[in-house]
Amino acid sequence: MRILRAIFGHGSGRIGGVIVGVYLLIAILGMLGLTPHNPITQYRVDRLHAPNGAYWMGTDLFGRDVASRLMAGVGQSFTVAFFSVAFATLAGTVLGLAAAWLGRRWDGMLMRIMDVLLAFPAILLALLIVTVAGPGTWTSVVAIGIVYTPIFTRVVRGPALSLKAREFVDAARTFGSSPSYIVTRHLLLNLVAPLTVQVTLALAWALLTEAGLSFLGLGTQPPAASLGLMLSDSRNLMETAPWLMIFPGLAIMISILGFNLLGDALRDILDPKMRRAPA
């Protein structure tokens, strides 16, 4: 509750919070099937309708309602983005802290593995994993998660190394604090700011990577909807039916804006220096 109140007391947090909140609502409605039309029903007579009273965002080539598909697509894309970023954050933080704390051989080994992963372009690596494991929502989650793990590992390892050399860590050693206490209280707690920023960025990337996978036919499988799939379907009709591209594009753009604003707010709120001193 206190966090929520703090978010709404923060300028950009309020905007970001509202945007992300609205998206969550749309995602839930979309996943529960509470959409104006059925997102996969094809109304053959109403193909490629421009936005009007019945179809708020028009219809696509097969006569499906874009608004309904958008709602279902937000649900689908957000599921993939959230879980893959959660995967990457968790794995990257654990690996990064392990590399920084254990140092020497472990550091060398872990970071070289991450370098190998990073050497592949993100989409190529995700493609490889999905091809091996077969397409589907959860393979996309794992694939995108693995693709972004090295980035989190690096984002965590660098600052963790410098924190490890700080005097408060030395001080903790002099009282004999356990490694787990030092890693969680002294390292992890000070990594909150870079991690929050990274998470908001990664959510945006994950949305785009999911879109890319779907575009290549390896993410969400038609006729189910995802924002990426909708964008890729719109590509040939850009001139005749621009609404097919504009609405999913706007949906991605506004959600990324929302995540970034919310991330900035969280970073500030979680920093004790930004808190007002108790009187």
75: exposed, middle or buried (Cβ count in 10 Å: 0-12, 13-18, 19+): buried
Cα 74 to Cα 146, 172, 198, 228, 255, distances in angstroms:
22, 46, 21, 10, 9
Of the candidates 31, 113, 172, 197, which one interacts with other proteins according to CB under 8 A? 172
Q: Is 167 or 239 the residue whose CB approaches other proteins more closely? A: 167
Least Å distance between CB 169 and other proteins?
8
In whole angstroms, the minimum distance from the beta carbon of 166 to other proteins comes to: 5
Please report how close the Cβ of residue 229 comes to other proteins at its closest, in angstroms.
42
Q: Is the CB of 189 or the CB of 238 nearer to other proteins?
A: 189
Indicate the residue among 116 and 192 with the shorter CB distance to other proteins.
Answer: 192
Instruction: Kindly state the DSSP code that residue 65 receives in the 8-state scheme.
Output: B
Minimal distance, residue 178 CB to other proteins, in Å: 7
* Cα dihedral 72, 206, 107, 182 in deg (nearest 10): -60
Q: Which is nearer to other proteins, 53 or 278 (CB)?
A: 278
Q: What does the buried/exposed string (b/e) look like for 221-232 if buried means 16 or more CB atoms within 10 Å of the residue's CB?
A: eeebbbbbbbbb
Helix%, strand%, coil% for the chain, nearest 5: 75, 0, 25
Question: Exactly one of 5, 112, 166, 235 binds other proteins (CB under 8 A); which one?
Answer: 166
Asked whether the beta carbons of 193 and 272 are under 8 A apart, the reply is no
Q: What is the Cα–Cα distance from 66 to 243, expressed in whole angstroms?
A: 9
> Measured from the CB of residue 187, what is the shortest distance to other proteins in angstroms?
10
What is the residue type of 13? G
Contacts of 75 (CB under 8 A, 6+ apart): 26, 27, 28, 29, 30, 31
Q: Return the closest-CA partner of residue 103 out of 165, 150, 151, 152.
A: 165
**Is residue 134 near other proteins by the rule CB under 8 A?**
no
Question: Residue 43 or residue 106: which is nearer to other proteins going by CB?
Answer: 106
Contact region for other proteins (CB under 8 A) — 8-16, 242-250, 253-261, 270-278?
A: 270-278
Question: Residue 242 — φ and ψ, nearest 5°?
Answer: -60, -25
| Site track 215-254 with other proteins (rule: CB under 8 A), x = hit | ----------------------------------------
Question: How far apart are CB 113 and other proteins at their closest, in Å?
Answer: 17
**Interface characters, 175-204, with other proteins (x: CB under 8 A):** xxxx--x---xx--xx-x------------
d(CA 100, CA 23): 37
Task: Please report how close the Cβ of residue 3 comes to other proteins at its closest, in angstroms.
Answer: 16
Q: How far apart are CA 152 and CA 146, in angstroms?
A: 10
Residue 174 binds other proteins, judged by CB under 8 A: yes
For residue 259, the minimal CB distance to other proteins (Å) is 23
Q: Any contact of residue 167 with other proteins (CB under 8 A)?
A: yes
Using CB under 8 A as the criterion, which residues of the chain lie in contact with other proteins when the complex forms? 166-168, 170-178, 181, 185-186, 189-190, 192, 272-273, 275, 277-278
